[in-house]
Structure 1
Amino acid sequence: MSEVVTSVQAFTLTQSRDVPYLGAARPGETPNEKGYLVRLGNRTVYPIFDRSILVRVETNNGTVGWGETYGLVAPGAVGELIKDLLADFTIGRDPTDPAAIYDDLYDLMRVRGYTGGFYVDALCAIDIALWDIAGKIAKAPISTLLGGAQHDRIPAYISGLPKETLAARVALAQSWQARGFSAFKFATPVADDGPAAEIAALRAALGPEAQIAADLHWNQTADTALGLINAMAAHDLWFAEAPVRTEDIAALAQVTASCDTPIAVGEEWRTHFDMLHRIERCKIAIVQPEMGHKGITNFMRIGQLAEAHGIDVIPHATIGAGIFLAASLQASSALKMTKFHEFQHSIFEPNRRLLIGDMECKEGYYTPPTGHGLGVALSQAALDLLEPL
């Protein structure tokens, strides 16, 4: 008997953090009653806890797939989109054809302009769960369904150095270097002495062979971004990420045309259409697909566009329970142009108790999970944290 989807359920999974993402709150960054604070360096809201949205999809034969997307703020928006709209149009469908379901669900709201944001986040969680089911039915990892693994392991770079002083951030980077990691990225909004001083200190401590990148967090004009990038380039900057506001394609075109440093973009994009709008005008060196915003279907479409245009793929590491990280590694391993993958150590390490499976990151490399589907399952500890939406 063929399998069809019979249920789609959405949950939040929330965990406390000892230190907020990006490090301790600076003066003027007091959390509100919901636990949200605004980082003054990039004017972006973050919770003081970790929270993502998990989607459980089940078939008539009892095959269960899990998906995940962002739930950092306003998780009810994503939950309502799933419950009120997307679930009903997923139930009854063949889960072995996730891309067709993705396109049909995307088209439901295209006329109304819902081609990004929370709508596509909700869709991406369902997409991941369907690919998980498809892999389980095929008794193979998702990477096999995507054409086969091109990489048995993927180089990982240390992302974020969430300490309060430059000296402490340098020491943290050195501690990871001692554990076999040779690539690092820091966030310029929390580089208190300035980005040039930050990379200079890291370079002096980590040596000439280390690869050091900087995330500018989308908050510069083209001219200010170029000034910062050129100052950091004197210390052998690996790449500059998100140099200008995401809406300002003209500024991105100016930056990519005016400096030799590789420019990396794409974390916040939802679909391959976002990439198409930019590669026509901008000299992009690195694309950073974020599984929690794209789902496997669009992640792969972006990766295939990158291959066609000679652009490296260095995925953004998802901030969550690990389901969409597993999905990211499955897809990344199937893309020839994958060169590195971000390692959010301050999330991966504390959250590893939430998953069962052989997904690992150590000695500078990710090992993608090898089981069927995503290759990971939620532990009892994770199931105990789920709250229905």
Structure 2
Amino acid sequence: MNESMNHSPLITSVDVVVTNPMQAPLGNFVLVRIATDQDGLYGWGDATCSGSELAVAAMIEEHLSPALLGKPAGKIEHIWHTLYHLPYYRSGSVHLSAISGIDMALWDIKGKLANLPVCELLGGPIRDRMLTYRSVSGRTFDDVLERVRELQQVGHRVVKVQAAVPELESGYAVPSTSSQQTATDKAFSLGVPPTETWEPELYTRMLPRLFDFLRNELGDSVELIHDVHERITPSQALRLANDLSPYNLFYLEDLLRPEHLDTFRLVRSQSSIPLAMGEVFCNPWEGQELWLDHLIDYVRHDLAHVGGITAGRKIAATCESRGILTAWHGPGNISPLTHMANAHLSLSVPNFGIQEFDANW
């Protein structure tokens, strides 16, 4: 046996890098580098938590890293539970994002030590490719249609769509006017969130019109997804799910806020539309009644927020026996490290559904 495999290398340092060179939108990453006592052996992880970057860095540097120094880097499960139970008040987004970055870095070390891809250490790849999707948005329905067709031309079979609400000057991440776009760009240049208005009733009336337009133009040549971003009331959610059912969505995402999870039971009992949820959950057990009780079809956790690869394995295993598929969160505001963690986990779990890969590096 290789001598380096006879003992686990010991952790000697934990460093955190907060990138954010120019307050670029969707580009402020929190990266974790863990070094060991074996020369040149280190690992990288992603602890990005948009809006709380410095808090996550402080959590790692001041609270978690002292518990890591001198510990065997290979004891990933033991370390995960140690860090999870370390603070008395635990399980928030800052705490679990910090654990996520550390966990990914430890899996990176384990893969390098074994000279194997991490997916091999997770049981080996079940597939050699993954179904992925990207997102498009537009001020008008025609803008959305054009961008869907552009993705189709390069081989995408599933696309998430979002459009501005015509009656509003601004909407969630989709300015309706050039003046609002200018204001949004200025806010991002200053490193602050843009000011947006929102009217859920207008949005829920517009959305079926968007999907009716797209289906008339595209037929069934592409699968479509929409993300509600938890911005509507329970009664609006039930109506929207029924209104969108005729358009055969791949799934409807984040239909309700975490505070309204009980309403998923009502939606499930009255609508056949596939549902996905999870990116706002902050530990592997939050919201678990959704998959334990078959109230959703896809889990959407973010591996940079929920506890890393170790947490993702727990979630996937719990969902497998219930027929719930994975669809890990993969937007542009997580680093390439989490996208790679998503890929390794997606390749190795039997209940993989689809992988978001919405980045433009």
Category of TM-score, reference length = shorter chain: 0.7 to 0.9
- Alpha-carbon deviations, 1:273-331, whole Å to 9, x = none? 11434334452211112111120000111011110211111221143230111011111
- Alpha-carbon deviations, 1:138-161, whole Å to 9, x = none? 1111111111111111011122x1
CA distance in 2, matches of 1:166, 1:287: 29
For structure 2, the 5+ residue unaligned runs are 164-171, 177-202
Counterpart in the other structure of 1:146: 122
Structure 2 counterpart of 1:197, from 206, 209, 213? 209
- Alpha-carbon deviations, 1:22-81, whole Å to 9, x = none? xxxxxxxxxxxxx7xxxxxxxxxxx73421100011001131100002242131100110
Matches within 5 A, 1:17-56: 48-56=25-33
- Alpha-carbon deviations, 1:85-116, whole Å to 9, x = none? 1111111111112121111110112xx33113
Structure 2 counterpart of 1:185, from 146, 160, 171? 160
- Alpha-carbon deviations, 1:167-200, whole Å to 9, x = none? 1121111100011111111247467772112222
Counterpart in the other structure of 2:354: 340
CA contact (8 A) 1:222 1:254 kept: no
Amino acid of the structure 1 residue aligned with 2:350: K
CA contact (8 A) 1:257 1:283 kept: no
Q: Describe the shift of the 1:187–1:72 C-alpha distance in structure 2 as closer, same or farther (beyond 3 A).
A: same
- Match of 1:8, SS? strand
Answering whether residue 57 of structure 2 is matched by residue 73 of structure 1, we say no
Structure having the larger proportion of residues in strand: 1
Counterpart in the other structure of 1:164: 139
Answering whether residue 24 of structure 2 is matched by residue 4 of structure 1, we say no
- Match of 1:181, SS? coil
Answering whether residue 312 of structure 2 is matched by residue 296 of structure 1, we say no
CA contact (8 A) 1:50 1:72 kept: no
State the TM-score, normalizing by the size of structure 2: 0.82
Counterpart in the other structure of 1:378: none
- Match of 2:285, SS? helix
Tell me by how many angstroms 1:258 deviates. 2.1
Amino acid of the structure 1 residue aligned with 2:12: T
State the TM-score, normalizing by the size of structure 1: 0.76
Q: Describe the shift of the 1:203–1:158 C-alpha distance in structure 2 as closer, same or farther (beyond 3 A).
A: farther
Tell me by how many angstroms 1:256 deviates. 2.2
CA distance in 2, matches of 1:308, 1:92: 38
CA distance in 2, matches of 1:97, 1:187: 43
Q: Indicate the percent of aligned positions where both proteins have the same amino acid.
A: 25
Matches within 5 A, 1:53-68: 53-61=30-38, 62-68=40-46
Answering whether residue 329 of structure 2 is matched by residue 316 of structure 1, we say yes
Counterpart in the other structure of 1:95: 73
CA RMSD of aligned residues (A): 2.0
CA contact (8 A) 1:153 1:333 kept: yes
Answering whether residue 314 of structure 2 is matched by residue 286 of structure 1, we say no
- Match of 1:273, SS? coil
CA distance in 1, matches of 2:250, 2:12: 47
- Match of 1:291, SS? coil
Larger Rg: 2
Runs of 4+ in 1 over 6 A off after TM superposition: none
CA contact (8 A) 2:291 2:324 kept: no
Q: Describe the shift of the 1:77–1:224 C-alpha distance in structure 2 as closer, same or farther (beyond 3 A).
A: same
- Match of 2:28, SS? strand
CA distance in 2, matches of 1:203, 1:100: 50
CA distance in 2, matches of 1:169, 1:231: 20
- Alpha-carbon deviations, 1:203-252, whole Å to 9, x = none? 23332131111111112222201211222222222211111111222122
Amino acid of the structure 1 residue aligned with 2:272: D
CA contact (8 A) 1:65 1:129 kept: yes
CA contact (8 A) 1:5 1:94 kept: yes
Counterpart in the other structure of 2:191: none
